[in-house]
Amino acid sequence: MTDVAIVGGGVIGLSCAFELARRGRSVTVLEREQPGFGASTVAAGMLTPSFEVELTPQSLVELQLDSLRRYPQFVREIEAAGGQSCGYRDEGSLWVSRHRDDELELDHILKIQQERGLPARRMTGQEVRQVEPYVSPRAVGGLLVESDHQVDSRKLVPALHAACHAVGVELRTQTAVKSVERARGSLQLTLEHEASASTLNAEQVLLAAGVWLEDGLITPLPRIGMRPIKGQIVHLQGEPLARHVLRNSDVYLVPRHGGRLLIGATEEEQGFDMNPTAGGTLDLLRFGFEVLPGIYDLDVAEIDVGLRPTFHDHMPVLGPTTTDGIYMASGHYRGGVLLAAATAHWMAEVMTTADVPEHLEPFSFDRFLGQRAQQEAAG
């Protein structure tokens, strides 16, 4: 018997496990493969609420900003507990415009960012190159967002794993959860490890299974439409060409320590397909070259592919479900790394106090049930 069983050892499952264990709960994480097998270690690790501010509902922007504010302490606590670096960097991000159309777009984005309380600074092309000398001479302007930060997701996940271990979380790898059901006062999980089945009883279950939430996992919950959005990301290696995260409307470039540069990312409806493609790589390199021509001489280190967990409205579900004791922290789409700090904090609050704060209401499980009922009535 465990207080909390968490299905999934990605950045969301591990962050919640760490926070719940620090609050005195006994926690068991069940991971079908290894921690970070899913989207979490593919992520570029940008902590950039400013990026899609125009298309993001205000409730989600506020949650992202809440998470960004929590990040420095979140990282300090993980590093202090487990002794491993999360690769946190605070250089900010820089939009680079290539022509008049981009310039007008940056003016528009700046206005929305200011309305939403995000500090940003417009720059000329010359100012952009003073800050980032390798940016294309064709760049005509920029927008600097100093409050944007980043972590190295390939460091964050092992660091979280170590921190979880240090605070007493039990992590069972190569252990798939096949089903969750109510059984006499507790929840019973059926597990499969090396082809043998077993059960685990828990007071509470947290579903953090990424895109596999409704794939091969049987629960009493209605299906609410989880789907994967494929993302390809190219890793280049060589002379460091940038300090900031650079971006325009087609691409982002994320510098990591040691001369690694990530260029991402495609956004594709391909179901569970995980193959890198020539077209995806071509687009990323072409758009990346427009921003930083020096990438031409870098080595291609790898092409990584991940599946972003997404619901219809691109907002996560955070909180209780329709079955007593089963909670969900899923559907973080393009922002699971950024949202990990707030998700861990608020899920631990909800699961230890049974209160759901008002600002989490837009992320309720129930919002999809309303839509289902309306669709059924209409159709």
Contacts with ligand FAD by CB under 6 A lie at 7-13, 30-33, 37-40, 42-46, 176-177, 208-210, 212, 217, 231, 233, 264-265, 306, 308-309, 330, 332-338
Those residues whose C-beta lies under 8 Å from the C-beta of residue 148, and which sit 6 or more positions away, are: 46, 47, 48, 49, 50, 51, 92, 93, 245
Provide, rounded to whole angstroms, the least separation between the CB of residue 368 and ligand FAD: 17
Handedness of CA 92, 345, 335, 360 (dihedral sign): negative
Residue number with CB closer to ligand FAD (82 or 231): 231
Task: Report the b/e string of 347-367 with b at 16+ CB within 10 A.
Answer: bbbbbbeeebeeebebbbbeb
**CA atoms of 4 and 22, how far apart (whole Å):** 13
> Any bridge partners for residue 172, and if so which?
30
Task: Compute the least distance from the CB of residue 137 to ligand FAD, in Å.
Answer: 28
Residue pointed to by tokens 């900003």? 65
Residue with smaller CB distance to ligand FAD, 125 or 160: 160
Q: How far is the CB of 211 from ligand FAD (least distance, A)?
A: 6
Residue linked to tokens 């704060």: 357
Cβ distance to ligand FAD smaller for residue 120 or 307: 307
Contacts for 356 with CB less than 8 Å, ≥ 6 apart? 319, 320, 350, 364
Nearer to ligand FAD, 46 or 351 (CB): 46
> Which one-letter amino acid corresponds to residue 275?
N
Q: Which is nearer to ligand FAD, 255 or 335 (CB)?
A: 335
Task: Write down the least CB distance from residue 272 to ligand FAD, Å.
Answer: 12
The nearest distance, CB 85 to ligand FAD, in angstroms, is: 18
Q: Which is nearer to ligand FAD, 113 or 266 (CB)?
A: 266
Q: Are strands 27-30 and 227-237 parallel, antiparallel or unpaired?
A: unpaired
User: Cβ(326)–Cβ(221) under 8 Å?
Assistant: yes
Query: Residue 65 Cβ, how far from ligand FAD at the closest point, in Å?
Result: 13
